[in-house]
Chains A and B, each alone.
Chain A
């Protein structure tokens, strides 16, 4: 119970919100697997993840007289965890175009706002034994029902499902095998981010949302400040992403991935809780809480994902504190057989003054050099993550995108519900 309480405290106190975001890991100083089934994060939350998000919202369902919607838990028989993510986006879908009227005056056509279903992804995880878990999720596409297609992917290289066996035992490396997403840089929940995109083809990122391949990955996290992952996968979806239109990369039979992360946590001041104090956690209601130290979480690391003539190198650094602030940066470079090099960078910061509201800023720069020309795309995003109710998030954003031919800024809003 003590251990469960301590882990719960990591999620409930350290994480001021309950969403699969890098900012959560940085502000809490805990890895994604603390709250997610998949050690890389994403859809599929464990009981602690569920409990943490079940506490976050401007209102609770009970406040609105909807007590029947207050979920107690999402685990069935203590072994089966179910969940989902659902996202709707309202945005101007398309790009700017311009014509000239009879007098030669420029007329810019702005795309209309459209309602865009982004994601519906149910997930399940079954804990067979203490050391074996099976998890998976499925993402139908916009034409799945109408055309009867099982996998209807929007982006080249996107996968409609993930499914893995996950072996985990204390002191030993975690191993997962199946249809998995290898650890590449920092996994984001925003598929419009340019960091692993392509300025020459903004609708065809190198690593698509829900990218996954058949293969295996092992993660070793021997001490809190160090983690390493290594993966071997069959790069079928990578092949579709890079060579679906025209051959640009001579890939090998397998792709290799590796990520190394240093995660030192710095503490200043405060009183140190003893083991005995920790054991009394549930009983000592009247005691004054010990003064908290100032905690600064950091990470710095790099990843490599390569196959044949293709390689994608990413470096990342981040710093965050329990005060709800974090700043991080990521740089990603890729090259392939033909002259098609990408060099992308991102700086992001967020502040979470209360658990149901987070303010974020992000600046991105993408450059792609091909044998034809160089393409650029810069994106600036200001966002609010507004958790109205447990599992209901509104995310208004203002996005400004500038390319060599246009500048386009507009507001979008995303509805995200999850369980």
Chain B
């Protein structure tokens, strides 16, 4: 501490004007910082092959589909799917990633099924059962989310989701 340097009100000044070393350090930091945007790491885990994936509401991860409006998550490679028990006879499958800012619509937490539509809690995007964007967030635009074909047998609780492949 330099006790000789004091301001008019008696409080000491704790540091001197920047030295050349400090300026170079600051410039170095700025240069490093400016290069960082090029250092983006972007990996999404999972494979890309199209698949037909079976599910059964008797399985623990899908028991929510036993109830009307129940939702369950299903990952098919890189695709994140949201299964929704739309009515007694029908289970639908929608993309779980919101088209607005890519929030993951975790069932019952961020993705809410209400009024026969899907609401993303992040910024209140609303989608129809077919994946069409019904209401974008205020002041924003957005697009639809993908809907996937589903075959579902309510009597057995078994179903199949077709992701990247045609339904048979």
Indicate whether A113 sits within 8 Å of B43 (C-beta atoms), given known contacts A146-B139, A201-B110, A245-B121: no
A389 to chain B, nearest CB (A): 12
Contact call B43/A406, Cβ cutoff below 8 A = yes
Most interface-central of B11, B22, B75, B112 (chain A CB within 10 A)? B11
**Interface flags, B10-43, vs A, CB<8A=1, else 0:** 1111110110001101100110010011011111
Q: Chain B residues with Cβ under 8 A from A354's Cβ?
A: 15, 22, 25
Residue of A nearest to B112 (CB): A245
Interface residues of A in 367-383 (CB under 8 A from B): 372-373, 375
**Interface flags, B39-58, vs A, CB<8A=1, else 0:** 11111111111100000000
Contact call A357/B25, Cβ cutoff below 8 A = yes
Which among B11, B26, B104 is the interface contact of A51 at CB below 8 angstroms? B11
Contact call A104/B45, Cβ cutoff below 8 A = no
Contact call A405/B41, Cβ cutoff below 8 A = no
Report Cα–Cα, A201/B122, bound state, in Å: 9
Say yes or no for B94: interface residue by CB 8 A criterion. Answer: no
Contact call B101/A285, Cβ cutoff below 8 A = no
B interface, over-half SS:
loop
Chain B residue total in the interface (Cβ 8 A): 55
Which among B14, B45, B112 is the interface contact of A12 at CB below 8 angstroms? B14
Indicate whether A413 sits within 8 Å of B45 (C-beta atoms), given known contacts A146-B139, A355-B15, A386-B26: no
Indicate whether A95 sits within 8 Å of B48 (C-beta atoms), given known contacts A12-B11, A106-B78: no
Contact call A111/B15, Cβ cutoff below 8 A = no
Say yes or no for B138: interface residue by CB 8 A criterion. Answer: yes
Contact call B138/A143, Cβ cutoff below 8 A = yes
Contact call B41/A400, Cβ cutoff below 8 A = yes
Contact call A106/B29, Cβ cutoff below 8 A = no
Residue of B nearest to A73 (CB): B9
Report Cα–Cα, A111/B37, bound state, in Å: 12
Report Cα–Cα, A335/B44, bound state, in Å: 30
Residues of chain B touching chain A, judged by Cβ–Cβ distance below 8 Å, are 1, 3-4, 10-15, 17-18, 22-23, 25-26, 29-30, 33, 36-37, 39-50, 61, 64, 72-73, 75, 78, 80, 97, 101-104, 106-110, 112, 121-122, 138-139, 164
Jot down 26 A-B pairs with beta carbons below 8 A, ordered by A: A5-B10, A51-B11, A94-B103, A96-B42, A96-B43, A97-B44, A100-B49, A100-B50, A106-B47, A111-B102, A143-B139, A147-B138, A200-B109, A203-B110, A204-B109, A285-B4, A372-B61, A384-B29, A386-B29, A398-B39, A404-B45, A405-B46, A406-B42, A406-B45, A407-B42, A409-B39
Q: Which 4 A-B pairs have the closest CB atoms?
A: A411-B36, A409-B41, A100-B48, A396-B33
